[in-house]
Amino acid sequence: MREIAPEPPAVVRNDVAAIQELYKNVVPSYARFDLAISHGAGSYVFDVTGKRYLDLGGGIAVCCIGHANPEITEALVQQSKKIVHISNLYYNEPQGRLAREIVNALAPGKVFFCNSGAEADEGLFKLARKFGHDEGRFEIITATNSFHGRTLAGISATGQPKVKKGFEPMVQGFREVPYNDLDAMRAAISPATAAILVEGIQGEGGINVAAPEYLLGLRQLCDEQKLLLMIDAVQCGHFRTGRFQSFQRILENVPHAQGFLPDAIAMAKSIGGGFPMGAFWVRNKYADLLSAGTHGTTFGGTPLACAVALKVMEVIQRDKLADNARSTGSYLKTELERLASKFPDIVKTVRGLGLLLGFELAPGIPAFAKSERAPSIQFVNKLHELGLLAIPAGNQVIRLLPPLNLSRREAEEGVQLIEAAIAKLRA
Ligand SMILES: *Cc1c(COP(=O)(O)O)cnc(C)c1O
């Protein structure tokens, strides 16, 4: 593990503007921060001026074993010397081994590999359609404030009006009800319903954790009504909460929860440690619904992507990074809660599990009144000034989704920087 960050370049060149100029040729679908990142090492990244940032955003829960991890580099180099891509017309060993790893970490079932979270979710939508098809059932119920990717079906499933705006009409067959509200879910089920899809912890929606009773209630509801229970674990999965899946962490020590298992799970973000990859797992009972010719992808499960994902799995398990996510996450959460009680005028609440944390800013922070921009964006800009990356979620929440091998010292540095940002706002 590379711990020592490289020296910033001797000559500080300010070429942010030059890079921004190149972005005249990029579709402007993102409101980007005024930062141009050049490289990273472990939990740190460096911008093109040589300034160092502690990265508690992790590329939005992606870089789960840090930046420029030499073991990922080695896996990429070795596998790319053998073969990068061959297509899903043939077998390749890394794909088979990775599927076995995921099944072993989870439960008997089968895995489909794709390239992103949106594609993993799309696979779940098709699975649900196929499941309900012969009975004329097609509807999938999702939750308010959810996020399920940017494809047309993904935005239709997503419970946030802002992602749908301008793209209507939506794909039919999606309905949303408030999250963590079992009665609302029960009431929404119709004869056309085939499945329920929720996140274990809503990420983009501002770090909202499913209640244990909610998960258990959804399982019961799906069993009674013959529906698929599908979990979008794209952000909350892959050991981030201290267990492979967030529902395992949420249901720890909950009576009668040991046998809990969803019917399908979408994965992406951390699975490739930065190499683009997605997957979905489906339990054995439904694993053959998507039979030959019903679903596919050119790039999904290439030997290269799978070799990297296998290495990521191996490092996480060998270095007990789930345990680190749990302990370092617990330290961070306790410290954020301390800041919330010390500065209630700035930090309202702290939410999350393991290294998937969020803090909600208090309403009406005077220092933010002068600008039209969302408080979350303004706060993150303050963090950038101080050398810390974090990710806004909506207008009020700041998310921390650092690498799972974040050290205690780095976590302490993060807390100091957040506290310094708060102090600046109150000065
Ligand atoms: C990020 C995310 C997606 C979409 O993943 P992409 O790789 O951006 O397509 C879907 N669901 C959840 C819960 C996510 O956090």
Is the same domain home to 172 and 276? yes
Is the same domain home to 204 and 312? yes
| Cα–Cα distance for residue pair 217/193, rounded to 1 Å | 17
3-class DSSP assignment, residue 151: coil
Contact at 8 Å (CB) between 400 and 355?
A: yes
Domain boundary among 273, 294, 318: 318
CA of 358 relative to ligand 1 center, distance in Å: 17
Domain boundary among 276, 294, 318: 318
Residue nearest to atom 15 of ligand 1 (CA): 235
Is the same domain home to 308 and 371? no
pLDDT tens per residue, range 304-322: 999 999 999 999 999 999 9
For residue 276, is it within any domain? Answer: yes
- pTM (2 d.p.): 0.96
**The total number of structural domains that make up the chain:** 2
For residue 329, is it within any domain? Answer: yes
Per the structure, the complete domain to which residue 394 belongs is given by 16-62+321-426
Is the same domain home to 295 and 362? no
Domain boundary among 257, 286, 318: 318
Query: CA 274: distance to chain centroid?
Result: 12
> What residues have CB less than 8 Å from 367, skipping those under 6 apart?
378, 425, 426
Instruction: Specify the pLDDT at position 50.
Output: 94
For residue 1, is it within any domain? Answer: no
CATH code at 409? Answer: 3.90.1150.10
pLDDT tens per residue, range 218-251: 999 999 999 999 999 999 999 999 999 999 999 9
pLDDT tens per residue, range 348-403: 999 999 999 999 999 999 999 999 999 999 999 999 999 999 999 999 999 999 99
Is the same domain home to 308 and 332? no
CA of 154 relative to ligand 1 center, distance in Å: 9
Query: Pocket around ligand 1: residues whose beta carbon is below 6 Å from it?
Result: 116-118, 121, 147-149, 199, 203-204, 232, 234-235, 268-269
3-class DSSP assignment, residue 310: helix
Is the same domain home to 304 and 228? yes
Is the same domain home to 124 and 55? no
**Which ligand 1 atom sits closest to the C-alpha of 276?**
7
For residue 220, is it within any domain? Answer: yes
Instruction: Specify the pLDDT at position 7.
Output: 63
For residue 6, is it within any domain? Answer: no
